[in-house]
Structures are given as structure tokens and as C-alpha cells.
Amino acid sequence: MAVVSSENLFSAGQDVRPEIQLLLNCARTRFDPYIRDRIASLLAGDIDWARLIGTALAQRVTPLLYNAFIHTNSPRVPPDVLDALGLYCTEGRERSAYLARELLAIADDMEREEIPLIPLKGPVLAELAYGDLSLRSAGDLDFLVKEAQVSKVCDLLATQGFHEPEDSQPVLGLRPAVQAAYRKYQAEYMFVRDHDGIVVEPHWALVPRTLAVPIDHDGLWERAEPAPFNGTRILSLTVEDLLLFLCVHGSKHQWTRLQWVCDIAELIAARPELDWSTCLERARLQGCRRMLLLGLALANRLLGTKLPDAVAPAVAADAAAGSLARSVCGRMFLDDNLTTPLVRLSRFRMHMRERFRDKFFYALRTITTPTLPHFASVTLPDGLFFLYHPFKLIHDYVALPSWIATRPLRERGGNTRLSADKAEQTKKAVRDTWTARSDQWVRWAEEQDPSARKLNNTLLDAAGIAPGQTVLDLASGVGEPALTIARRLAGDGLAVATDLVPEMLAAVSRRAATSQLKGLHCCVADMEALPFPDGHFDGAVCRLGIMFCPRPEMALAETRRVLKPGARAAFLTWGPIEENAAFDVVHRTVGQYLDQGTAETEMAPFRFDAPGGLAKLVRRANFVDIEDLEVCDDNVVARGVKFWRPMLEMTYGIRFDDLSESLQATLDRSLETAFAAHLKDDGYHFRITMRLVVGRRRSR
């Protein structure tokens, strides 16, 4: 293989970062002299190691990156980075070997029950295409079974300790009509096992029915043949069928992951006997020819895969496939590159079809097929089950858009009761979450107090805090900056720490007593309804709390009310996530393990990251002399501290807690690897960017 120039990798005019170029040259198992020279040349330049490792983790090609560094033996790779990658890949190799053994155990159990299975992707693909289990990141165990035997498969997996995930909507417990409908439109179940965190997904079809890809499943089973795997043999797809499946799978997910392109490139290189004419003909008959050509075009554009003469002209002749390939290349490494949910129509999925009838049935089935949320919304008797189709149309294309369009009006006053109820539910959830974690945050706060003091003092200076004053600290958490305020007052004045969570304030009191601080009072209080008289405080501060308030405009109005005329309030919030390296690395790494949906809501830590966002609300609350400032600082965290844990818990809450211990440990290792680029002799170094908004209550 020879890598193509960066001008051919992406659409014209798009800048290709050196980290991306390096990753593309490393994402392979074969290194000719040209590739080695390219890697050496790129390593000689400036590399953002945190971004490189974070991108490799997100794209699931970390083993290939480490393998390339080992094979090229470059002295320019920082030792800490190489060591962290080595540890991560060693543990990944052990995980892959374990998954391979478990796959064979499941296959043996099913064989005894006369249930054939065909593995899809996973360890079998790693050995077949990459030649080494450790070179492809371990994930779920996917395998194909015959539709008539799905129930037996589910029963057998249950005896082995597998069950449906508790955080997803269960299917097997639903009434038979709903289960039958689910199996008709969906293609697989998901099961998890608690003691080792293994996820298995038995498929009875390669793609959901809504995608309207007429896969010849009978032919797949007839052509399947035993292949060597992990010292034995296991039933496998033919190479031609496997290539088609990989291209269809990548197209289904809109090619948002480089690993799927590597699968194509490695399979082509490992299996030169592949019959291209047969592959093209099967793709044509099953309506997925353009998906095949798109996968091949991506392997050529991104990884420099040389396409055989038997297929290269077809790739070049399909203008639509070329256009889709340019689109994929242009967005693959963007942070917001997400797959469109299968229940929604997608322009990409429409264009990846070459036949009109496939486009038509894709659109028709996607629009009209009811899914589990529709069955859960209303219960219809089996005799009226057909009414779920019009119900979906009304729900998705009339009721839901209308509700979304009118929500701002309802929350601005047309339906204040609904807004208040929603706010109370949110505050209850926050209270419950932080109550459960108060002890953890005490430990974290005590470790990190020294590095936070500079920011605390900046906040207090902005509010004009001085001895002799009575000062309000909003959302004190487990003590900061209330404790810093008390130290500044030095017994001459009063610091009032407030929080929604009593357990947090109990921790503040304990910490104040341990430090023998005087003049600090704790009060459970809701920022939106403060229990203090008008004009009571000489100043108010809030460090990293206002963005979690359901109705910040009410909290700001309450803050202004309790301030004395002329007193100032100062609010510190996070700046953009990409300018806060610690959060940025977590955000880019954690997507492998958790859906990041709630991290993007209006209640997220970065809700007020843009200049002017919070300042506008402060101005509407009738503050004057408003300042909106950017505050930057360098932070150092000691070696050996899992400083990312509080960020995970704050941003992802119970969904992180619900991960099995093995997956939590895997996530820890992934983050430790990703943060290795920030590690120096005295600890982890990060740049912090925050916004400081200050306002003053108008004097009489």
C-alpha cells in the first residue's frame, strides 16, 4: 500500500492536521519504505500528542498506532506516551484473547443445541484480516443466527448469565405482538453479563428491515464455510460476503469510525484470492453495490489501498460514491461527527442506494415503521395493532414537532406550571446525585484545593470581597470558595455557604472545623428562591454552579435581590471545552463507552462557555456595570490521581456508575493513555479557560 497525499484525503481546501496525517499513515499492519519515511517525517514536526491519542481512541485504532510506533522505532515518540500506549494495548490484547475464548465457548454450547452461528466482526475478523487478535480493538461479540432459532439462542444465553441491559428498554418481557414487531424491523438483540462486562449481540439479519437492503441470508448460510480461528475452526462468511457485510455495516453507520475503513483495507490486503467479479455481482443483486464502492473508495482515499483492476474502474465511474466518500473524509475527524439515528431519514443513506426501488422502500419503511417507543406510548390491542403505523406518523411528524416548536412559549410563561415542575424534577435529580457523591467530592476537593486557590482569589477580587463584609457563596458544594472567603475575612465578617444538598454543607462544616475557621455559616438554599431578606449581603460569588441551575434567570434575580445597593456579584463558569484540555480529552475518549447525549443539554457544564451568554442574563436581571472576562490559567495535577473521575461523575452521572467494574476499569485505562501526552515530571499539565462575569446592584 502507498498512502495518498493529504490533498486527496479530503475535499479541496480543507486543512489536514499533522495528527490526522500521522494517524492515517499508522493505521495499517504493513509498512513499506515510503510509509516509514512518511511516519518519520510527520513525527519530526509538531504533534499534539493528546489530540493524536484521543483521536486514535475515538476512532478505535489505538492498537494500530502503537504497533506502528513499535515497528518504526522512532525516538521522537515521548517515552511516557509509548509506555501508556503499551499498557493500554497489553490489556486490550488480554481482553481480545478472553473474548475469543468466550466466543468459542458460546459456539460450542450452541453446537450442542444444534444452533449454528456465524461470527461477525470482533475477534474472528481480527485474526482473518489483521492476522493478530491484538491489532483490532475488542468490542462486542456479534454473531449471526437463523431467525427461527432466535428464541432458543436467547434462552441459552440466559443460562450463561447474559441479560438485557438494565438501562435500555427490555424487549423479551414485552407482549408477543410487540416482540414479533421488533424482530420484524430490527436485526439484533443486545445482552450483557455482569461479572465480566461482555456484551453479545445475536443477529438474525445483517441490517434492520427499515434500511431496505435485500440481503440474501439463505445464500450466506449456504456459502458459509469453516475457517481457522484461535487454534480451531469456526463457521465463517466467505471473504466476498464478509467484504460486502463490512461495507454495508460501515455505510449504515455513515462511516463515522476509521476502524471500519481499516477493516476493508486489511481484508483486501490479507485475502488476495478475493473474487471481485462475484463480489460486484452479489452487491448488484442485493442493492448494495454503491455501498461496496464507497467502502473501497474510502480505503483508497484514506489509507492508500491499491484497488485491483477488476474493481477500480467501477469505483471511479460511480460519481455518487465519490461524492459520498468526499463527504465522509471531510467530517470523519470532526468532534460532532455523529451517526444519524436509524429511525430518522438520512440524506446520506438515501444517496448510498443506486436503485430507485431501494430508495423508495428505505424512505417508506423509515417513515411508517413503529418502534419500541411508539409501542410504549400507547397500548393497542392485538386486533388493532395495525394502527401503530398511523400513530407513528401522527406522533413523529405532527405532535412531536408541534410540541418542540411551542416549548419556548410554554416555558416563557404560557405554561409556567410545566416549567416549574420540570425545574423541580431537575433539582431533585441534582440533589439525589450530589448527595450520593458528597464523600467523593470531599476527597477530591481536599486534594485539589491548592490548585484552585488562584481561581478562588480571582473570583473574590472581582466581587470586591474584604474583611468586615457579609458574603454569600452560591452552590458551595463541599466548600469552595466559601472556605477561601472565610480565610480572607479572618474572623471579621461572615461567609454564608449555600447549597441544595445538605450532605454537601455538612462536609463544609466539617472541613471548616478541621481548619479552625471562624465566621462561616452553612445554609441549605435553592438559588432560585433564596431564604434571605432583601439587601442583606455585601457581595456574592458563584464558582461553577450557575450553569447547573434549571432557571438561571430566577437565580440571578434572587442574587440581585439579596445584595445591598452597590454590591457586586461574580460568577465563574467554564470556557469552551476545546480550550480546557482535561475536559476535552474526557469528552473525546468517553464516547467509546457512554452515549454523550446529556452532556450536550442546556444543563451541561459548558452551558455558558461563549462570550456574552451569561452576561446577557446578568443584564436582564437588572445588574449594571457588567464585565465579561476570559480567565486563563495553567493547572498541574499530581501523578497517580484519577482526576478525571469527578468529571465523569458530574457530566455523565448515573450512566457512568451503571457501567460494570470491568468497563469502568477499561475506561480508566483509556483515559490514562489519552492523558499521557500531558504528563511531565511533576504531574499532568493542563490549560484552563474560564469566563468571569461580574455585575453590580444599582445604588439607590
The per-residue pLDDT for 36 is 93
Three cell numbers at 550?
434549571
Nearest to 117 by CA among 164, 150, 161: 150
Using CA atoms, how far residue 649 sits from 48, 142, 151, 607, 673, in Å, is: 27, 30, 37, 17, 19
The DSSP-derived string for 334-362 is: STT--PPPTTS--HHHHHT--SHHHHHHH
Tracing cell 456465524 back to the chain, one arrives at: 118
The per-residue pLDDT for 605 is 76
Three cell numbers at 542?
458563584
User: Is 431-697 the same fold as 111-362?
Assistant: no
Amino acid at 452: A
Angstrom distance (rounded) from CA 485 to CA 456: 9
The per-residue pLDDT for 589 is 81
The per-residue pLDDT for 145 is 97
Three cell numbers at 154?
436467547
The per-residue pLDDT for 422 is 60
The per-residue pLDDT for 430 is 62
The per-residue pLDDT for 517 is 87
Q: Strands 563-574 and 683-697: what pairing?
A: antiparallel
The per-residue pLDDT for 581 is 82
Nearest to 483 by CA among 501, 465, 500: 465
Q: What is the pLDDT of residues 322-355, one digit of tens each?
A: 999 999 998 898 866 778 888 889 999 999 999 9
Return the CATH number of the domain spanning residue range 431-697. Answer: 3.40.50.150
The dihedral through the CA atoms of 518, 519, 524, 528 has a sign that is negative
The per-residue pLDDT for 600 is 38
- Among left, alpha and beta (phi > 0; psi -120 to 50; other), residue 13 is left
Angstrom distance (rounded) from CA 75 to CA 81: 12
Q: Does domain 111-362 have CATH number 3.90.1640.30?
A: no
Residues of the chain short of pLDDT 50, as ranges, are 1-14, 410-418, 597-603
Interior/surface letters 359-392, b for 16+ CB within 10 angstroms, e for the rest:
bebbbeebbebbbbebbeeeebeeeeeeebeebb
Domain boundaries, the chain: 6-72, 111-362, 372-414, 431-697
